Structure 1
């Protein structure tokens, strides 16, 4: 069940459905076919797809959790991080059962903001040159029927092992993905099983492949930095417009909290459109979706294609309404020297992470609100 924030606009019913078929009909035939072996059957057997895999983020966020195929050259587009878990010694115990925890990190390579690092536009993720622009923990329940996506504000003031107290998004710039994983494990006491990194450009390309997404803007907001005004109401956004929407930093009454909420609302809309019957029944659209995401996706080298394939098959019945979105509980904001920081509510946070370990996050969020900020734009 998707749990929407009480202060956020209703996202509406999920109209997506699983067609229950592979990607499209096969119209090929052989002139010499016989009734004993129908041409369509022989043609289909010759076209069995070898490379089954999944594009899985953000985002992700089970963006194509019901996809049934992925060509070999698409798999080859996914970059790998070799040292995601290097040097990690004292780690939380693995989840009981089949629960899975994935650390999702995003960057905005087109941003000139210093918070994204000294070289945010670099084609690869390099320690010391980039910071995470967004950070989320995706938990997939043991039953593979539900998932929880927890956003962590990039300015959260936490313990970064070996570097004292610092903003959580600095961990990657200090020592790469392994320190980012270690920092999140220190904060959550959850064992991170896999890492996925995606640039927001990937979401722009994906949005265009889907023909745009519809997002409800609850109130009129002006983005003075880009000269853009978002009028209250529904907006059908193409990729460029959606990226402007999620990247806005100024003019939001809740600051980065509202930006997180926008990212979550965008991801909901993206999942609904991706998992809709219209998308899943179109081989051309589905291939375009996979191609767009794999070109912008990086995962840990321990996450094999076979493992991703198995995960995708186990998630084929999941829908957008089965994903709970929330934000790590916060107490408020403050300052550390010249830095503006977010103070986390550690007690509430322990409750949330404990609920995630026990596959009851949706119930906890419904009862506690998940520590979401009060303001949404």
Structure 2
């Protein structure tokens, strides 16, 4: 039978070989019932003699467990070998355990540092850059009769009006580098107008282009081309016109001018745009756009999206070109690593805040929440289409686009009710990007 000792003060339990398992208990120290019984009657059992312990009946040093194992004076006990040198095999095991612990602690420290760096840098970037976005004041219409106001957007969904301006100025009018007002009466035209609907789940986006030549009622001005609304009354008149036309509430406005358009294209290193068939090129150096994929810098991309006279459907094909460009830019800026790599995130936010302006109702917190909630959206998750068109006409010596009120009603209802996915799945004849790209 082995005898075991407990050092005063709760020292390690030691077997005859002197080995421990690193927890203060010998590898063989967890005795089975037979060995425990051999040590003598348990305290309190018939015939057992209790050790009175320390003064006033206190427990003996080492606690109740130690007292039970020590037994009475005179019991046979092995010498205290707890300080005996460990064997070579045991020493190797100890060294391996120490190395393993050091590696694990080091890896954990590096992981924590990396997480803190990414989260901290991302939070700083959101805080810093959202505060740099240029805000446009007083963009929403006032004094609109209640009957002409659209119902509020469904909870959680939002609709943006994205406007591309032909500012007729060499000075940037949008973004953090703006050097001229974004609107002066008669000085700017809205050449691009898109309603961007973001559903409540923030997993997709739906982009609907409103042709600039659409013949529509403009409050206080009678009927005219849609792009005249911005020229005459700036953002408030354009928003009022679009809301009355669609009965869709515009929650926010986002504006970029052609100067910013060129800069953004160059900042992302140009874009690859596929032309589906060879067509004439009236802007820039002239010639043709040959069928195939073209890598375009800012100037080339601007020529591409502004072209309409050489296109079979004029303004409608031009809106698809604009969508084609937007999809190409988004594919580069919304890559999987944009939101996880702090350096990529910084560069992307630098590019966007330098060219884009938003309404002053879109707070820094709103913008941060929007960016974060849509971090998983890629270009493939976005649908691009034109508003339904009934045909073309010439009015007051102007070539105009006639919107199809009947076909449009279902689209605008789906946008109001946040049911765009269902509408697209159940509607035929949608003029969607991919069907036609020139």
Indicate the TM-score class for this superposition, using the shorter chain for normalisation. Answer: 0.7 to 0.9
Name the residue aligned to 1:195: 253
Q: Which residue of 1 aligns with 2:373?
A: 314
Partner of 2:136: 81
TM-score normalised according to structure 1 size: 0.76
- Displacement of 1:241 after TM fit? 2.1
Distance change in 2, residues 1:205/1:252 (3 Å): same
The one of 285, 288, 291 equivalent to 2:350 is 291
User: Does the C-alpha gap of structure 1 residues 339 and 227 become closer, same or farther in structure 2, counting only changes over 3 Å?
Assistant: same
CA contact (8 A) 2:162 2:193 kept: yes
**Is the contact between residue 266 and residue 298 of structure 2 (CA under 8 Å) also seen in structure 1?**
yes
Write the deviation string for residues 7-32 of structure 1: whole angstroms up to 9, x where unpaired.
xxxxxxxxxxxxxxxxxxxxxxxxxx
Which residue of 2 is the match for residue 102 of structure 1? 160
Greater gyration radius: 2
Structure-2 residue corresponding to 1:131: 189
Give 1:315 shift: 1.1
Q: Does 1:358 find its partner at 2:417?
A: yes
Count of residue pairs brought into register by the alignment: 320
Rounded to whole Å, the distance in 2 between the matches of 1:218 and 1:209 is 26
Correspondence for 1:339: 398
Note closer, same or farther for the CA distance 1:50–1:87 as it changes in structure 2 (3 Å cut). farther
| Whole-angstrom distance in 2 between the partners of 1:45 and 1:276 | 22
Q: Deviations over 1:111-159 (max 9, x none)?
A: 89xxxxxxxx982212412121110101111111121100000111111
- 1:167 pairs, out of 221, 225, 231, with 225
Q: Which residue of 2 aligns with 1:265?
A: 324
CA-atom RMSD, angstroms?
3.0
More displaced 10-residue stretch of structure 1: 151-160 or 269-278: 269-278
Distance across 2 between alignment mates of 1:375 and 1:199: 25
Closer/same/farther in 2, CA of residues 150 and 37 from structure 1, 3 Å limit: closer
Alignment check: 8 A CA contact 1:210 1:285 kept: no
Contact 2:263 2:355 in 1 (8 A): no
- Where 2:190 maps in the other structure, the secondary structure is coil
More helix by share: 2
C-alpha distance in 1 between matches for 2:337 and 2:158? 29
Alignment of 1:218-237 (within 5 A): 218-228=276-286, 229-237=288-296
TM-aligned CA deviation for residue 109 of structure 1 = 3.4
Structure 2-normalised TM-score? 0.66
Distance 1:161 1:40, change over 3 A: same
Q: Structure 2 unaligned runs (5+)?
A: 1-104, 171-177
Mapped to 1, the partners of 2:201 and 2:115 lie a distance apart of 32
* Greater RCO structure (CA 8 Å; 6+ sep): 1
Q: Which residue in the other structure is 2:243 paired with? A: 185
Does 2:69 correspond to 1:69? no
Q: Which runs of 5+ in 1 are unaligned?
A: 1-33, 53-67, 113-120
Distance 1:257 1:127 in 2: 27
User: Does the aligned pair in 2 maintain the 1:154–1:169 contact within 8 Å?
Assistant: yes
Distance 1:172 1:84, change over 3 A: same
In structure 1, the residue corresponding to 2:376 is in which secondary structure? Answer: coil
